[in-house]
Amino acid sequence: MWLFRFSFYCHIFSMGCPLASRANRKGQTSRGQNNQRNGKGRRRRRNTGNNVEPSQRTPGNSGTAELLGLHSSTATRRPSQDASAVEAAFGLAIADASFAAGSEHGHGVPAIGADTTLTSTAVQTELANSPDALAALPGLTGSAGFGAMTTGQQGALLTQYQEAPNAATAQYLQGLAAYHAAEDKDLALGDYEDALNPDSGTFSVDGTSYTIANGGLVDAEGQNVGNIHTDGTYQMTGDASRTSIYDDIRSRINMIEGEGDNATTLLNLHDADRHGKLTGENMNDTFAGMATDTLRGLRRENIDMAVTDDFRSSAEQDALYAKGRTAPGNRVTGAKGGQSWHNYGVAADIAMMNDNGRIHWNTSGDDGDRWDRYGEVAESNGLIWGGNWNSPDMPHVEYHPGKTVSQASSLQSTLANEGLEASWDQMGIGESP
């Protein structure tokens, strides 16, 4: 029991969490206080020079903040942005974009949703910590087609933008706006078609890679086997309907519009779980589902992240704890076996990737905003984010519903004596009926 009391004071220990330097910029908020929401819409100024060398980070380094029990009594499940509602909305967007045959141009006119009063300022506020989403927005709102729309139509387009706020969506909606404007002003339909399909790039899904050529998906034999669209959907030959490219977190997409000097990368997403960590047998389904939804939401914003750490056995945790104590190296954790939520399969560490798909730990500038956005999206999916702790653990997310410190204590013996499944049952997130 003393171990858990001890954990209350873990913030006085600095275990060299590589991302702890952001604590100063984030302010010293108390546990459980949702400073993300308070800071929403405010682009915080950041110091530069906070880059962290990858070599400074030891795998599994989560500082002391993740100590079991520390956050269990204060963690509250925040009102969740309903993930299924987002899914449904996105599905609706796909349906809206589907083409009906027989229009005068050979295309149906994609519907623009019901009028709303959403403004670009509201979208900017909502996406304050999503640099890619913010960067792409002016391309849409500054376009002639968008300007020609009624306020209600603009709001409807912005609503659609929020469902996957990235450069590809902006390109698509910009073309959609131009097309609608063209009905009255006789603008070239080419503007619209150009926006609909990416010119080049690559797409990998289910272990197969395709080359993108003017919206077509070309396999290794040079055969055109499907189509891909800037609205975030693809359809293989024979498929009855389109599939979202964002939903499969293990897919890889590089979508390019334009050619030569005019080529622009619209979307660049790598396999977010290349080692299948979230689907490992020791990971809890409820937690893994929340983490997957978080990654899906971030991918829609072109925030490229990957799982680096997942389940850790108590023995592995003990070995980690020994570092800097009875074993060589620097101390990397204050949690012994059974004291980290990683030992229960209800925690993961997720990190940023660079353009080449390699993990990096930069936290300055736009990367800092992306870390904040990661925290926002994780919390909106019901997860607890380590970035809000007194000793911030930026990559770390966990979920353990309603556990008080004393309950967490008995959880430790449950894990040791009865195993993972029993510990999940005790938390109310068991997988066996």
By beta-carbon proximity to Zn ion, the closer residue of 74 and 214 is: 74
Q: How far is the CB of 93 from Zn ion (least distance, A)?
A: 34
277 binding Zn ion? (CB under 5 A): no
Using N-to-C axis directions, what is the helix angle for 167-185 and 189-196, rounded to 10°?
160
Q: How far is the CB of 60 from Zn ion (least distance, A)?
A: 7
141 binding Zn ion? (CB under 5 A): no
By beta-carbon proximity to Zn ion, the closer residue of 201 and 386 is: 386
Q: Which stretch binds Zn ion (CB under 5 A): 160-168, 326-334, 344-352, 422-430?
A: 344-352
The closest alpha carbon to 109, from 17, 196, 32, 31, belongs to 196
By beta-carbon proximity to Zn ion, the closer residue of 372 and 393 is: 393
Q: How far is the CB of 416 from Zn ion (least distance, A)?
A: 20
Q: How far is the CB of 336 from Zn ion (least distance, A)?
A: 15
373 binding Zn ion? (CB under 5 A): no
Q: Which stretch binds Zn ion (CB under 5 A): 57-65, 257-265, 267-275, 355-363?
A: 57-65
By beta-carbon proximity to Zn ion, the closer residue of 140 and 397 is: 397
By beta-carbon proximity to Zn ion, the closer residue of 110 and 395 is: 395
Q: Which string of x and - marks every residue 395-414 that binds Zn ion (by CB under 5 A)?
A: -x------------------
Q: Which stretch binds Zn ion (CB under 5 A): 59-67, 196-204, 259-267, 312-320?
A: 59-67
By beta-carbon proximity to Zn ion, the closer residue of 157 and 394 is: 394
Q: How far is the CB of 347 from Zn ion (least distance, A)?
A: 5
349 binding Zn ion? (CB under 5 A): yes
- Count, residues near Zn ion per rule CB under 5 A: 3
Q: Which stretch binds Zn ion (CB under 5 A): 49-57, 60-68, 101-109, 263-271?
A: 60-68
By beta-carbon proximity to Zn ion, the closer residue of 199 and 349 is: 349
Q: Report the C-alpha dihedral over residues 390, 392, 397, 402, rounded to 10 degrees.
A: 0
By beta-carbon proximity to Zn ion, the closer residue of 20 and 253 is: 20
252 binding Zn ion? (CB under 5 A): no
310 binding Zn ion? (CB under 5 A): no
381 binding Zn ion? (CB under 5 A): no
Q: How far is the CB of 196 from Zn ion (least distance, A)?
A: 41
62 binding Zn ion? (CB under 5 A): yes
Touching Zn ion, residues 102-131 (CB under 5 A):
none
Measured CA distances, 365 to 6, 24, 56, 114, 358 (Å): 35, 15, 20, 37, 18
By beta-carbon proximity to Zn ion, the closer residue of 196 and 350 is: 350
Q: How far is the CB of 285 from Zn ion (least distance, A)?
A: 19
376 binding Zn ion? (CB under 5 A): no
Site residues, Zn ion (CB under 5 A): 62, 349, 396
